């Protein structure tokens, strides 16, 4: 087994163990809309190992196939639209991406709840592995309306991995378009279930409708500070800023992150343009950044740390996919149209990993 295969097996093994005992893949996604109508989507990618993502550039016309154990028993298709996004460990799977029409798709962990269809001869021509679904959406549809009309025309089936006991990746998906429309798609009871997503937020388990219901526990939260009150002749005033959000859950569990993502995105100042909103989205995503050591699990004597491997933003107005990594906080941008043109009809990769030098300005006087 070569080095990359060993890393893939390690990642998959950790992923399946995570479904049982570890909060791995603690990803968070949210959306802001600028005054000019520009939609900007932000997300974090968390995992217990470095997923070694690269930027995958897939032009329109590319022949795509499934990644099932036997690809002949699954869907084959040609990309109608080109797209750009992040993969993992050299796989074809796109976990976060944008196509040339401004459609965004993000795949998020959904452990304990994802349940796929059983492989059947009559549906094998429409079958995809769960990790193939994001690329299929990006390659075929331009708007959320089109996705809503077609999302269940494929069948997601388990992809057995012998090295990890035949388990499959658990995932659910968020889709946004340049109009601001958004949906969440979840595989449950062997079928794909679609929810409208007016808040533009997603995290992980449990199901999306549960998270919406749970928000009712926090309807007291507001970005506005609580005014002073008089009690027994004593005037009580706040110690400092933030009293309106007193009680907001601050841990890294999916329900708590969902509540925070809704609170912060709803409270965010509406800026004039998408260009101005991109840095704002990265600032919001700082609130969900997990440093190594803050979330951990011990399994068979080994410590696994879940951490933010990279953070991305998708500017659906100006057609850019931007990111920064754990090792390099510099924000890098990929112009979707420019990258697709430069690819000249061939799928290409752009390396994401880098290190960030610390600049010494000790003598840089004004």
> Distance between CA atoms of 23 and 199, rounded to whole angstroms?
24
69-93 as b/e, with b when 16 or more CB fall inside 10 Å? eeeeebbebebebbbbbbbbbebbb
Evaluate the omega torsion of the peptide bond into residue 301 and state whether it is cis, within 30 degrees of 0: no
Spatial CA neighbour of 265 closest among 257, 255, 275 = 257
- First CA to last CA across the chain, in angstroms? 57
Rounded to 5 degrees, what are φ and ψ at 50?
Answer: -70, 115
Spatial CA neighbour of 314 closest among 9, 52, 32, 5 = 32
> Distance between CA atoms of 288 and 204, rounded to whole angstroms?
13
> Distance between CA atoms of 32 and 39, rounded to whole angstroms?
6
> 224 is written with which tokens?
């506005």
Contact 38, 316 (CB under 8 A): yes
Residues classed as catalytic = 27
Taking CA 186 as the corner, what is the angle to CA 180 and CA 189, rounded to the nearest 5 degrees? 155
Listing from the earlier edge strand, what are the strands of the sheet with 54-58? Answer: 191-196, 182-188, 171-176, 104-109, 96-99, 83-86, 54-58, 348-351
E strand intervals along 11-125:
29-33, 39-47, 54-58, 63-65, 76-78, 83-86, 96-99, 104-109
> Distance between CA atoms of 86 and 330, rounded to whole angstroms?
17
> 237 is written with which tokens?
């005033």
């Amino acid at each position: 087994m070569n080095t990359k295969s060993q890393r893939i097996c390690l990642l998959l093994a950790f992923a399946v163990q995570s479904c049982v005992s570890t909060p791995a893949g603690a990803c968070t996604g949210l959306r802001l809309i600028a005054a000019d109508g520009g939609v900007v989507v932000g997300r974090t990618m968390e995992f217990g190992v470095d997923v070694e993502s690269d930027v995958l550039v897939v032009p329109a016309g590319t022949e795509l196939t499934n990644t099932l154990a036997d690809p002949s028993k699954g869907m084959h298709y040609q990309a109608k639209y080109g797209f750009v996004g992040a993969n993992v460990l050299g796989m074809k799977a796109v976990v976060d991406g944008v196509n040339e029409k401004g459609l965004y798709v993000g795949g998020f962990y959904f452990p304990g709840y994802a349940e796929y269809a059983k492989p059947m001869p009559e549906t094998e021509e429409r079958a995809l592995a769960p990790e193939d679904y994001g690329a299929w959406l990006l390659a075929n549809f331009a708007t959320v309306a089109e996705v809503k009309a077609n999302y269940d025309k494929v069948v997601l089936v388990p992809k057995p991995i012998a090295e990890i006991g035949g388990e499959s990746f658990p995932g659910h998906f968020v889709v946004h378009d340049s109009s601001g429309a958004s949906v969440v798609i979840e595989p449950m009871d062997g079928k794909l279930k679609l929810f409208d997503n007016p808040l533009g937020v997603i995290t992980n388990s449990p199901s999306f409708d549960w998270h919406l219901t749970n928000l009712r526990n926090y309807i007291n939260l507001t970005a506005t500070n609580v005014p002073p009150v008089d009690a027994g002749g004593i005037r009580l005033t706040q110690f400092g800023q933030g009293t309106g959000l007193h009680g907001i859950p601050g841990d890294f569990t999916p329900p708590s992150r969902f509540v925070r993502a809704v609170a912060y995105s709803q409270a965010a100042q509406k800026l004039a343009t998408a260009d101005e909103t991109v840095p704002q989205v990265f600032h919001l995503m700082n609130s969900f950044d997990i440093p190594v050591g803050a979330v951990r699990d011990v399994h068979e004597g080994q410590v696994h740390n879940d951490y933010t491997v990279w953070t991305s933003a998708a500017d659906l107005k100006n057609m850019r996919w931007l990111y920064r990594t754990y090792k390099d906080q510099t924000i890098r941008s990929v112009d979707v149209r420019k990258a697709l043109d430069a690819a000249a009809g061939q799928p290409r990769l752009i390396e994401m990993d880098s290190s960030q030098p610390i600049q010494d300005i000790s003598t840089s006087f004004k």
